[in-house]
Chain A
């Protein structure tokens, strides 16, 4: 793109800076509140820079509720479900990308159309099945669905990526006596690493974030995930706002950390998903 004239560049930077400030402020405000002493939280006009800095809000929030248990529960569910989702999702995507079989195209469209289907339609029968199996208040309902392909969006994204990989490599491996699973695992998976990382990140975020699932299926407090636990925090800590903000930040931290560790995969993955819409 051609260079901007100084005047236009100035306007562009001004607008961008204003926008970025608006987007960042709620977040900075939370950080600031999380570091305030209780008596400074409700001051009017609000205190902008928290002085004195109350670092112990984080420690208090961490111990006020069984937070370590929540984090352990959520990590367990998230890691198992994400792994299952990526493995089975990529297998299904391999099938769609490499094999000709009857009804492949209609099946693929059926899969895509499930993206339009609101999860609420299947939510109730699925709940009844788990209830029938007497597995309410266990982690099973939150983990097992991930073993069934892991959602249309991930399969679609991985299939698109597999299609860009040259088929000759599969054929060469087949000549050398590799089985289909071997081809999937040893050839396609390593090559699809960027797409796999993107899908892993999205799946991780979705499970870490999930609220309605744990809300429906988990009843005992010791099985809560962070998102449900945080909701309980809200009821029991109505006045200790600084601790609540600290707890929220603990919930947010892993997602931001992941983003900075894998920024370029994120951006590519999002871009890939958008181009998938073409």
Chain B
């Protein structure tokens, strides 16, 4: 870690090491439009995919927890995509999202959308990020759902009975029993979701190489390129530290906010 911090203040191309002070940081923050583009792409991606993913996984978990038959079968079906290795899932989605012969646009055309109006997912910069969001929902939704389901099954039945006797509707039970009782699990999924999504790399590397027009140039992809394609190891180290600072800052804000809404069973904070 210290080596990385030291490197981030150097210019190093594997041959010559030169101390440049804060130059790497200064250039990244003031003179590198691609850095900001990558950061922006990543933040937008995280800001859409994480909340959407949490809500979706929670919804499925709540449905599955309704005393349904075939719970195991459904759970397996939702969980299987989480097992697919990243390169394989990238190749799979490359084909699903294919704008001419892909499954998704075929589905849209069956639903009545004329072919010329179908999004050209990975060729149109506007639709590229949404395509990555879709893929991430598919890829990690199941694992989060299993965690939520475990959390749901830990809520004592008597709480619902008490709410029922007090005349609560299902909706009220959800908001005033389920959500507070599940808040620590939601919090856990939120923190890990943000940290994980911030590091999106393989899918962008395999599917689009950051294109079209840098629309899927994510932070870690840009970092990887600086380090192992352009061999700007000092700059890449500086990027890694900025990433760490961003994640740490975010996590600390979340932990500070947490006491307002996260309820720990049997704990007084």
Contacts and interface: CB of A to CB of B under 8 A. Distances in A.
Interface in B13-42: 14
Nearest to B164: A2
Interface string A209-251: 1011000100000000011101100100000010011001101
A228 B148 CA distance: 33
A227 B85 contact: yes
Interface string A60-72: 0000000000000
B146 A267 contact: yes
Contacts of A125: 1, 3-4, 7, 237
Given A20-B74, A121-B4, A263-B76, A26 B138 contact: yes
Interface centre among B65, B95, B227, B265 (most CB of A within 10 A): B95
Contacts of A46: 101, 103, 106
B83 A255 contact: yes
A251 B87 CA distance: 9
Contacts of B92: 26-27, 29-30, 245, 248
A42 B106 CA distance: 12
A169 interface: no
Nearest to B66: A12
A122 interface: yes
Contact of B83 (A1, A8, A256, A271): A256
A23 B141 contact: yes
A110 to B, nearest CB: 11
B211 interface: no
Contacts of A19: 60, 63, 78
Contact of A230 (B87, B160, B187): B87
B143 A230 contact: no
A205 interface: yes
B147 A271 contact: yes
Given A23-B77, A124-B240, A30 B106 contact: no
Interface in B130-186: 138, 141-143, 146-151, 154, 157, 160, 164, 184-185
Contacts of A164: none
A231 B206 contact: yes
Interface residue tally on B, bucketed by range:
35 or more
A53 B75 CA distance: 30
B240 A212 contact: no
A90 to B, nearest CB: 23
B261 interface: no
Contact of B237 (A9, A118, A124, A226): A124
A248 B88 contact: yes
B95 A245 contact: yes
Nearest to A17: B74
A23 B138 contact: yes
B80 interface: yes
Interface string B58-90: 001001111110000011111111011111100
B217 interface: no
Contacts of A211: 85-87, 201-202, 205
B214 interface: no
B88 A118 contact: no
A275 B92 CA distance: 32
B237 A277 contact: no
Contacts of B201: 211-212
Contact of B150 (A41, A117, A270): A270
B52 interface: no
Interface stretch (B43-51, B121-129, B244-252): B244-252
A118 B160 contact: no
Contacts of B79: 259
A241 B154 CA distance: 46
Contacts of A102: none
A116 B248 contact: yes
A57 to B, nearest CB: 14
A33 interface: yes
Interface string B93-121: 10110001101001000000000000000
Contact of B88 (A9, A20, A29, A251): A251
Interface in A165-224: 205, 208-209, 211-212, 216
B215 interface: no
Q: Which of B63, B87, B202 has the most CB of A within 10 A?
A: B87
12 contacts: A46-B106, A118-B199, A118-B244, A124-B4, A211-B85, A227-B88, A241-B95, A245-B92, A251-B88, A252-B88, A267-B75, A274-B147
Given A216-B228, A252-B88, 12 more contacts: A9-B66, A16-B74, A23-B81, A26-B92, A26-B93, A115-B195, A124-B233, A125-B237, A208-B85, A212-B202, A248-B88, A270-B150
Top 5 A-B pairs, shortest CB-CB distance: A277-B188, A271-B150, A274-B147, A125-B3, A248-B88
